[in-house]
A and B are shown apart, each in its own frame.
Chain A
Amino acid sequence: MKKAKRWIGILLVLAMAFTLGACGGGGSDAGTTPPADSGSGTAADSGDSGAKDVSSLKIGVVMKSFDEFQQQVIDGAKQGAKDAGIPEANVTAVAPNNESEIMAQVQSVEDLIAKNVDILLIAANQADTLMNALNTAAEKGIKVVMVDTDAPDFKDKVTYIGTDNYEAAYEGAKEFGTRLGGGKNVVILRGKLGDPNHEKRTEGLVAGLEETGNTVLETQDANCESDKAANAMEAFITKYPNQIDAVMVTSDSMAVGAAQAIKGAGLGGKIKVCGFDGFQAAIDLVATGEIEMIIAQKPFEIGRQGVECALGALDGKTYDPYINTGIAIIDGDNYKDYQD
């Protein structure tokens, strides 16, 4: 038994040392994160000069799941709060483990209402399911801003900030299609079958590509997993020898897998890769030229502006029901602006 206790002890200590080390690292990262345009930051600064004391305001952020995109929205919200003089500690960010856990998200919203937050930023996984909770929040006077994904039937929101998935994909694909020059063959790797985001993005990509005169050879589901994307890309290369000119994806986790498979097949440069989302790992590949360009939404900006609008609403300001943050194109010319 003694031996066992010692073992468990050692394990625990190691585990803690490990996480602590990681913690420290994470902190320093956060310090250097803000990639967004500094111009809007100053705007917010000027905004709070005339305002009352906001340091006791509480902000809740409910995201769809836990990944880099959602994390950047949260970081943006924190930045927005900090700009307005609200301590970062007043920002509570939660998300279900998985986008399919619709009820968990509803509960998160309810919990935050119970916690008496003043501002809620919500990215809806399933707008209909959320309606009751959203209305309750509005009745309580909480300023609700929909971020990234809208709840169209929810009338009492401050605004919806984000880019529609279809539109982002469509605009991005048009840009990429134009750069390809038309008449090219493209394959698409998409996220999970049945996931509405990826459905919309896929539709957008196809429409954008076809409008610019390119052909979509085939679409495969790679479940947002890099190794599945590599497998599928390898199968494409086998199936369409010397026919594929480019590959588009509905999320960057698949772009990196596809890029690696292309490199492995010795076709680097011959098949162009277009990413989606703007994850750091993909941006790094833009630097090396393995990824041609990335269609990026502006998660940090969405989060930051979300808080800004909610604060404005508390002061009685009103906003358009849809604020389009638009897309950014990350490519060889500007990738440095997006790198950590």
Chain B
Amino acid sequence: MSSKMKGKKLPAFAGPLMAVILLSVILTIVSAQFLTMDNWMNILRQTAINALVSCGMLMVLLTGGIDLSVGPVVALSSCAMGILVQRGVTNPLLLIVVALFVGFLCGGFNGLLFTKLKLPHPFVSTMGARQIYRGLALFITGAAPIAGFPAAVMFLGYQNIGSIKFPVCFLAVIVIFAIMGIFLNRTALGRKIYSVGGNKEAARLSGINVSSTLNFAYIMSGIMSAIAGIVLVGRVGTALPLAGETYDMDAIAACVIGGASFSGGKGTVSGTLMGALLIAVIRNGLNLLGAQTDIQYIVIGAVIIAAVFVDVVRGNAEARSRRLAMAKKAAE
């Protein structure tokens, strides 16, 4: 790296983007079908759900927390729509509002467990809530998947537009990520999420209402999961009480690959989107190559570890150069 470059920080999404490009080149060489418009639309479609869940997860990670209940919230919100459909509700708007409301309630419940009951760490509270939501989803559906959703509800997850068949769900992802990007960087509440995650005590002593900021982050995670639930219903045509078993880990992986930190205060929506895209490209590529799930587990695990490792190395290098600069200053 030239000395000119050193001063400028690479954006967080540069790493995963480069990985996506590198991987794409390799896959293009080894698989004739990889670099086709159809396949790329597939990849975008397959990115959507994880990207949405990750977006909510990012809010929570930014505050230094974690939300392990996202998968069950996806299931519960879609199943809530499902039981209404079973009872003859066909108004798509009402169904969607109900799903979002379920997401809101779940997120709010997670937040209150942490901020009001003062459970020690959201790992514990959302781990408990995760079981509750899964149980509720199984309970209200009697463990049976539900089909028969009106087309307007499925629109988001199912429809493609234009001759290239661009998936509507990914369009929604772009819009939502743009909004969340603006929200995090350009609104007071968004800035507070970073501040609370970066230094909770400093934020509190600066008059920021830490509890309501945290609650908001968990509610956003719930609502994002609910949107993912709506997309999922469109994507597979059914509401599944057992859906999303691995969504929490996938989302955390996307955020971490995208540069988010478990200690909070660090992470961007663009990085997260790239992280989600990278995971989708890996899975798609391995599917095209006919690799079984065992290989997929191994590759994605290795990518997560590599991504975090790169981050650690970068952090250490930054800390080191900072220390050297300060020592130099002190010596002067």
Where the two chains meet, the residues of A that have a C-beta atom closer than 8 Å to any C-beta of B are 4, 7-8, 11, 14-15, 18-19, 22, 25-26, 29-30, 66-68, 70-71, 192-193, 218, 220-221, 223-227, 229-232, 234-239, 241, 252-253, 256-257, 259-260, 263-265, 279-282, 284-285
Contact = CB atoms under 8 A, between A and B. Distances in A.
B322 to A, nearest CB: 41
B293 A230 contact: no
B243 A226 contact: yes
A19 B292 contact: no
7 contacts: A7-B108, A8-B112, A25-B140, A26-B140, A226-B238, A231-B283, A239-B288
Given A66-B138, A218-B290, A227-B235, A8 B145 contact: no
B311 to A, nearest CB: 28
Interface string B204-217: 00000000000000
Given A221-B293, A256-B236, A238 B143 contact: no
Given A193-B293, A234-B45, A280 B144 contact: yes
Contacts of B140: 18-19, 22, 25-26
Contact of A66 (B87, B143, B145, B283): B143
Nearest to A252: B145
Given A226-B240, A263-B237, 10 more contacts: A231-B283, A232-B287, A235-B39, A237-B38, A238-B42, A260-B237, A264-B160, A280-B144, A281-B145, A285-B147
Contacts of A223: 245-246, 293
A263 B283 CA distance: 21
Contacts of A279: 144-145
Nearest to A33: B142
Given A193-B292, A220-B292, A4 B112 contact: yes
Interface string B279-290: 000011001101
Nearest to A22: B140
Interface of B: 31, 33, 36, 38-39, 42, 45-46, 49, 80, 83, 86-87, 105, 108-109, 112, 116, 136, 138-140, 142-148, 158, 160, 232, 235-238, 240, 242-243, 245-246, 283-284, 287-288, 290, 292-294
Q: Which of A26, A229, A237, A238 has the most CB of B within 10 A?
A: A238
A25 B112 contact: no
A4 B243 contact: no
B105 A253 contact: no
Nearest to A283: B147
Given A226-B238, A260-B235, A253 B287 contact: no
A255 to B, nearest CB: 10
Contact of B145 (A220, A253, A265): A253
A244 B107 CA distance: 43
A223 B240 CA distance: 14
B105 A238 contact: no
Contacts of A224: 242
Contact of A19 (B39, B87, B136, B294): B136
A11 B136 contact: no
Q: Report, nearest first, the 3 A-B pairs whose CB atoms are least far apart.
A: A226-B236, A235-B287, A22-B140
Given A226-B238, A234-B46, A284-B147, A22 B139 contact: yes
B284 A231 contact: yes
Contacts of A259: 237
Given A19-B136, A260-B236, A284 B148 contact: yes
A190 to B, nearest CB: 10
B143 A70 contact: yes
Contacts of B112: 4, 7-8, 11
Contacts of B242: 67, 224-225, 253
Nearest to A280: B144
A265 B146 CA distance: 22
Given A22-B139, A256-B236, A264 B145 contact: no
A280 B146 contact: yes
A291 to B, nearest CB: 10
A252 B145 CA distance: 10
A285 B146 CA distance: 11
Given A22-B83, A26-B140, A238-B288, A193 B294 contact: yes
Contacts of B42: 231, 234-235, 238
Given A220-B287, A256-B238, A231 B46 contact: yes
A237 B240 CA distance: 24
A238 B237 contact: no
Contacts of B36: 238
Contacts of A29: 142
Contacts of A30: 142
A15 B287 CA distance: 41
